Amino acid sequence: MPRYRLLIEYDGRPYHGLQAQDGLASVQGAIERAVKGFCGQELRLHAAGRTDTGVHATGQVVHIDLEKDWKPEVVRNALNAHLVPEPIVVLDAQVAPEGWHARFSATGRRYIYRIMNRTAPPALDQGRVWHVKKPLDAAAMNEAAQVLVGHHDFTTFRDLGCQAKSPMKTLDVARVWREGEQVLLEFASRSFLHRQVRSMTGSLAEVGVGRWTRDDLRAALEARDRKACGPVAPSCGLYLTGVVYGD
């Protein structure tokens, strides 16, 4: 029973997140239906990152166990054909090595958060960026973001419903920069708490508009208290851009 590793891109707008939930459209449900359409098999896929409602991906990784041996490019092309017209595509398919697991073998996740920072709302990028009207100081945000890098208790930046056993995480990369009208934030870690990226982004935006200083952000982190978090940034600007494996 070969295991296939699939690299997935999706527009999160039509979905109530990655994970299948009764009666709600999900990325997982759409891919599982495509598998059934392709080879008749009913299965559950496993994903590296459980993205929330409205969150996008350019580099999600999932795995599926198929009963038959197929060439990986046949799996990719057939799933893409069956996924039409869903805004989900399989960018790449590979046969996974023995024992490899999309979620448990992952050693790193990378997210990009996109802010459209201009007076006018987005037209072409509706639902794909967070619109912030007030000018953001990306350099100040980047400097403050370094406070978050390292091994910390991220309780402040963790959703109250988060089911992780521990709030301790190691943030490897936090980077903020401007590209024209957009301010981009990049975060990398072995794994993230629920809504951690959106919580950190919302708090960094407070620094960007000048309401918070770098020290305020540090105090929020050290408070280890959800109430110390800034407003959580909306899901529409968030992209899972890559998953790292030891291999």
CA 99 to chain centroid, in Å, comes to: 24
Site residues for a copy of itself, window 162-181 (CB under 8 A)? none
Q: Provide the sign of the torsion angle of the four alpha carbons 65, 69, 71, 73, taken in this order.
A: negative
What the block records as the tokens of 201 is 């982004």
Verify binding: residue 159, a copy of itself, rule CB under 8 A: no
Nearer to a copy of itself, 116 or 171 (CB): 116
Nearer to a copy of itself, 55 or 171 (CB): 55
Select from 22, 99, 124, 246 the one that contacts a copy of itself (CB under 8 A). Answer: 124
Select from 23, 69, 120, 163 the one that contacts a copy of itself (CB under 8 A). Answer: 120
Site residues for a copy of itself, window 30-59 (CB under 8 A)? 56, 58
User: Closest by alpha carbon to 93, among 184, 149, 31, 181?
Assistant: 31
| Count, residues near a copy of itself per rule CB under 8 A | 24
Q: Which amino acid is at 123?
A: A
Q: What are phi and psi of 78, to 5 degrees?
A: -70, -45
Buried b (16+ CB within 10 A) or exposed e, 166-183: ebebebeebebebeeebb
Q: How far is the CB of 122 from a copy of itself (least distance, A)?
A: 7
Nearer to a copy of itself, 184 or 219 (CB): 184
What the block records as the tokens of 14 is 């039509």
Q: How far is the CB of 246 from a copy of itself (least distance, A)?
A: 25
**Residue 111 assigned ligand-binding role:** yes
Distance CA 19, CA 79 (A): 18
Nearer to a copy of itself, 2 or 122 (CB): 122
CA 102 to chain centroid, in Å, comes to: 15
Q: Using only C-alpha atoms, what is the Rg of the chain?
A: 19
Select from 55, 62, 78, 90 the one that contacts a copy of itself (CB under 8 A). Answer: 90
User: Closest by alpha carbon to 187, among 174, 200, 168, 176?
Assistant: 174
Verify binding: residue 82, a copy of itself, rule CB under 8 A: no
Select from 114, 128, 158, 198 the one that contacts a copy of itself (CB under 8 A). Answer: 128
Nearer to a copy of itself, 84 or 168 (CB): 84
What the block records as the tokens of 43 is 């299965």
Q: What are the residue numbers of the active site?
A: 52
Binning the chain into helix, strand and coil, the percentages to the nearest 5 are: 30, 30, 40
Verify binding: residue 121, a copy of itself, rule CB under 8 A: yes
- Binding-site residue numbers for substrate are 111
- Binding-site residue numbers are 111
Contacts with a copy of itself, residue ranges (CB under 8 A): 9-11, 56, 58, 76-77, 80, 84, 87-92, 118-124, 126, 128
